[in-house]
């Protein structure tokens, strides 16, 4: 499987999840994105909502409003 096929498949999977924006970029652009978003790892999940206390992330669900 090629990287392009993996990216296409991931795009298909996450397209239906509101508020989720996958980012597939080269290392330098990734570093710029990490600096601008505050996420300090190559793979990150940022959960935002009206009440951060209600939001929890697990393998099966997340709170998104």
Q: Over the stretch 17-63, which tens digit does the pLDDT of each residue have?
A: 777 777 776 777 777 877 887 776 656 666 566 665 555 544 334 44
Question: Tell me, what's the pLDDT at 59?
Answer: 39
Which helix (H) or strand (E) segment holds residue 28: the answer is: helix 27-37
Higher per-residue pLDDT: 16 or 42? 16
| The predicted structure's pLDDT at residue 38 | 78
* pTM for this model (two decimals): 0.39
Residue 5, pLDDT above cutoff 80 = yes
Strand partners, 57: 62
Q: Largest Cα–Cα distance of the chain, in whole Å?
A: 40
To the nearest 5 percent, what fractions of the chain are helix, strand and coil?
A: 40, 5, 55
> Does residue 55 contact residue 63 with C-beta atoms inside 8 Å?
yes
Both structure tokens of 52:
């951060």
The confidence score (pLDDT) of residue 65 equals: 41
């Amino acid at each position: 499987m090629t990287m392009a096929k993996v990216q296409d498949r991931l795009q298909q999977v996450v397209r239906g999840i509101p508020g989720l924006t996958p980012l597939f970029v080269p290392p330098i652009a990734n570093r710029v994105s990490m600096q601008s978003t505050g996420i300090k790892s190559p793979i990150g999940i940022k959960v935002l909502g009206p009440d951060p206390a209600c939001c929890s992330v697990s393998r099966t669900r997340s709170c998104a409003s």
